[in-house]
């Protein structure tokens, strides 16, 4: 496999068929983590709890602010929290659907473009996404279950060993923790190639997974090279894209430090508000667009990698022999 040809052809494809950018945007939705935490049962009233934290509150001026926050949360009706939970669940379902359609449209579009398609329409690729949706969804669900099982098998014993040895056993687990990096890396490659196998060769979930495993096993060297290129390139581009966001966080840090020093919620809130506006309204869309372009390119690279490793090269037409060759007649130069 010619790595340089794959990288160049992938860029040519996404530059010619910019409809793939849209599906890259959709696919990037599923790469953003959605998380949250709660502390509804915690008591922030350090001052009125002399048995615990009366002498341990490092920021006593924040106590009124924390008390008001606690009282505000306690006054919210239960049905509001229920609605919030339902809204989050609906949002997760929408994100899963959109990101899955995006990944399917991206891979199918890259596959068709590499086959020589002259035009790719949004409607065509959207229909492809609907057709293959449940296969890719079940594949993602399978990998999620595998990931949870691996985490339980490894993390639970590690936590027990750490607790039993008062943290000393954690040192012995460092090699195991380091081993998780290439394992997760390999699982990612297997997932990407399984998606391409299912979408490119119209296979089922198990059949596509088996096909991807055989392709990786038989072409381990080229896969490692391509995975390293993608990993390093994605890391470098991610750092470049994130640099402006770090600069934008300066008002946030200033607000936090000012609020902690003076105990003024106004200063704290002002810094947070400025940082949120800049991140979400100004640089957020730009960073999201740039990241989606990177993911579009990476998805195309994985698609072409699979094709180059599984499909025989197209034979070049043989050159015609010069006139008179093999007949004893003089050749025409």
- Confidence check: pLDDT of 208 > 50: yes
pLDDT for res 299: 92
Please choose, from the candidates 313, 297, 311, 136, the residue with its C-alpha nearest in 3D space to the C-alpha of residue 226: 297
Answer whether residue 180 is part of any domain: yes
Cα atoms in the 13 Å half-sphere on the side-chain side of 179: 9
Q: Band the pLDDT of 254: cuts 50, 70, 90.
A: low
Answer whether residue 299 is part of any domain: yes
Please choose, from the candidates 52, 209, 42, 202, the residue with its C-alpha nearest in 3D space to the C-alpha of residue 112: 202
For Cα atoms 183, 184, 186, give the angle at the middle one, nearest 5 degrees. 65
Answer whether residue 69 is part of any domain: yes
Better-predicted residue by pLDDT, 162 or 22: 22
Q: 3-state class of 320 per DSSP?
A: coil
Structure tokens at 35: 């998380």
Residue 1 burial by CB count (10 A; 0-12/13-18/19+): exposed, middle or buried? Answer: middle
Q: Cβ neighbours of residue 185 under 8 Å, at least 6 residues apart? A: 227, 231
Least confident of 157-166, 211-220, 252-261: 252-261
- Euclidean distance between CA atoms 105 and 69, whole angstroms: 45
Q: Cβ neighbours of residue 84 under 8 Å, at least 6 residues apart? A: none
State what percent of residues in the chain have pLDDT above 70.
68
- Euclidean distance between CA atoms 296 and 22, whole angstroms: 9
- Confidence check: pLDDT of 1 > 60: yes
pLDDT for res 135: 93
> Are 94 and 26 a contacting pair, CB within 8 Å?
no
Answer whether residue 327 is part of any domain: no
Q: Cβ neighbours of residue 294 under 8 Å, at least 6 residues apart? A: 234, 237, 238, 241
Answer whether residue 318 is part of any domain: no
Please give the mean pLDDT across all residues of the chain.
77
Q: Which residue has the tokens 């899963």?
A: 96
- Confidence check: pLDDT of 277 > 50: yes
- Euclidean distance between CA atoms 68 and 72, whole angstroms: 6
Better-predicted residue by pLDDT, 2 or 76: 2
Q: 3-state class of 244 per DSSP?
A: helix
Residue 263's domain spans which residues? Answer: 3-32+41-49+58-310
For Cα atoms 253, 91, 30, give the angle at the middle one, nearest 5 degrees. 75
Structure tokens at 97: 């659907």
Least confident of 31-45, 177-191, 225-239: 31-45
Q: Band the pLDDT of 247: cuts 50, 70, 90.
A: confident
Q: Count structural domains, the chain.
A: 1
Answer whether residue 328 is part of any domain: no
Give the model confidence (pLDDT) of 142-199 as tens digits: 998 988 887 787 777 777 776 766 666 666 667 777 777 888 888 889 999 999 999 9
> Are 270 and 256 a contacting pair, CB within 8 Å?
no
- Confidence check: pLDDT of 31 > 70: no
> Are 199 and 101 a contacting pair, CB within 8 Å?
no
Answer whether residue 329 is part of any domain: no
Least confident of 32-46, 49-63, 170-184, 249-263: 32-46
- Euclidean distance between CA atoms 311 and 213, whole angstroms: 16
Q: Band the pLDDT of 141: cuts 50, 70, 90.
A: very high
Answer whether residue 169 is part of any domain: yes
């Amino acid at each position: 496999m010619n790595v340089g040809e794959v990288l160049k052809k992938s860029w040519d494809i996404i530059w010619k068929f910019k409809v793939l950018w849209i599906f890259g945007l959709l696919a990037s939705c599923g790469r953003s983590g959605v998380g949250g935490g709660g502390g509804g049962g915690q008591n922030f009233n350090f001052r009125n709890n002399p048995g615990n934290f009366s002498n341990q509150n490092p920021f006593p001026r924040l106590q009124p602010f924390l008390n008001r926050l606690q009282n505000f949360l306690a006054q919210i009706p239960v049905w509001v929290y229920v609605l919030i939970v339902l809204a989050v669940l609906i949002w997760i379902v929408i994100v899963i659907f959109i990101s899955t359609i995006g990944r399917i449209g991206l891979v199918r579009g890259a596959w068709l473009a590499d086959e020589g398609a002259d035009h790719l329409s949004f409607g065509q690729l959207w229909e492809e996404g609907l057709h293959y949706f449940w296969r890719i969804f079940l594949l993602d669900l399978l990998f999620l279950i595998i990931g949870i099982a691996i985490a339980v098998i490894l993390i639970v014993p590690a936590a027990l060993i750490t607790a039993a040895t008062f943290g000393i056993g954690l040192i012995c687990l460092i090699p195991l923790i380091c081993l998780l990096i290439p394992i997760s890396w390999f699982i990612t490659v297997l997932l990407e190639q399984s998606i391409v196998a299912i979408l490119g060769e119209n296979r089922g979930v198990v059949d596509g997974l088996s096909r991807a495993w055989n392709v990786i096993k038989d072409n381990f060297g080229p896969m490692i090279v391509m995975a390293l290129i993608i990993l390093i390139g994605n890391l470098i581009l991610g750092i470049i894209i994130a640099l402006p966001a770090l600069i934008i966080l300066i008002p946030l840090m200033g607000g936090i430090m000012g609020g902690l020093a003076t105990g003024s919620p106004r200063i704290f809130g002002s810094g947070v508000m400025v940082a949120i506006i800049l991140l979400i309204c100004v640089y957020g869309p730009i960073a999201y667009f740039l990241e989606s372009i990177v993911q579009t390119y990476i998805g195309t690279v994985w698609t072409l990698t699979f094709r180059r490793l599984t499909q025989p090269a197209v034979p070049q037409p043989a050159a015609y022999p010069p006139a008179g060759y093999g007949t004893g007649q003089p050749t025409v130069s």
